Amino acid sequence: MTARFRRFDVRVALIGVTAVFYALTFAPLYDELGPGVVSLSVVPVALAGWLFGLRAGLLAGAVAFPLNTVLLGLEDGANLDSVVWGGAVAGSAALMVGSVAGTLRDVTERLHAELERRWDVDGSVRASESTLRQLVEHVPAMIMAVANDGTVTYANRAIGGLDAAQVRGANVYNFVPRAHRDLFRTALERAFREGGETGYEIAGSADDEHPVLHVLRFGPVKKDGQVVATTLLSIDVSDSPK
């Protein structure tokens, strides 16, 4: 027997015990409370709705009408109209209570399922973000996101003696050699203005025997059709095979 089936079995037993207890105590309670005792029939009905949902609540409410009619008939069989009327009123109240309890149950279940789904999605997203962040942090290239005023909003590694966190918020031109700033500014402004990719290469030498070649690529970041930032990818291809 599975855990789910055992749980179902326990819930059915609980509703059954409540209904039987109501039926067995109806006569002595009727002597004390009169016809108003039928209001207690909403207890097993509400329990059915809450434990199993709207359909179960409505079904239990529908069963409450003939059950109350029979119980009232046993106590006051001489007044048939009163018996039928009392059973109908109690049945209607039970239906209403069952529908409310069942609806609340169904809404709660759907909300719980949605929260679980979102939690799973968020967990997957966080795992993906963590993997992507590790990949970006270890990629052999400098990656930045630059706002239109030149502010660095993201950097994947240290540069110029500053760690990645310190680079964020600085002006990107602080990290561009003075000799290349005009070329850099032209490419950056073009990326913002035209909304397309652009870039250039910088050739130089660390010494007489080791030539240096950097490739810089700019790509727009758009929101609602407007370029709000530019990504900068700087790769040292000096040792790449020609």
- pLDDT single digits (tens) 120-130: 777 776 777 67
Query: Where is mean pLDDT largest: 52-61, 81-90, 106-115, 183-192?
Result: 183-192
Residues 71-87, mean pLDDT to the nearest whole number = 65
- Give, as one character, the DSSP assignment of residue 149: T
Residues 51-73, mean pLDDT to the nearest whole number = 80
Give the number of other Cβ atoms within 10 Å of residue 20's Cβ.
11
| Higher-pLDDT residue of 175, 7 | 175
Percent of the residues in the chain that have a pLDDT greater than 90, as a whole number: 5
Which range, of 9-23, 111-125, 168-182, 188-202, averages the lowest pLDDT? 111-125
Q: How far apart are CA 45 and CA 64, in angstroms?
A: 8
Residues 193-204, mean pLDDT to the nearest whole number = 82
Does residue 88 have a pLDDT over 70?
Answer: no
Q: How far apart are CA 177 and CA 166, in angstroms?
A: 19
Q: How far apart are CA 236 and CA 88, in angstroms?
A: 85
pLDDT digits (tens, 9 = 90+) for 132-160: 666 666 677 888 899 989 999 988 888 87
pLDDT digits (tens, 9 = 90+) for 199-236: 888 776 555 555 667 788 998 888 888 888 998 888 87
Q: Measured between alpha carbons, how far apart are the two ends of the chain, in Å?
A: 69
Does residue 203 contact residue 211 with C-beta atoms inside 8 Å? yes
Q: Look at residue 135 in the predicted model and tell me its pLDDT.
A: 65
pTM summary value: 0.45
Q: Which amino acid is at 233?
A: L
Element (H, E) at 146: strand 142-147
- Classify domain 139-236 at the CATH class level: alpha beta
Which range, of 66-70, 85-89, 148-152, 184-188, averages the lowest pLDDT? 85-89
Q: Look at residue 86 in the predicted model and tell me its pLDDT.
A: 64
Q: Look at residue 82 in the predicted model and tell me its pLDDT.
A: 60
Delimit the domains of the chain by residue range: 3-128, 139-236
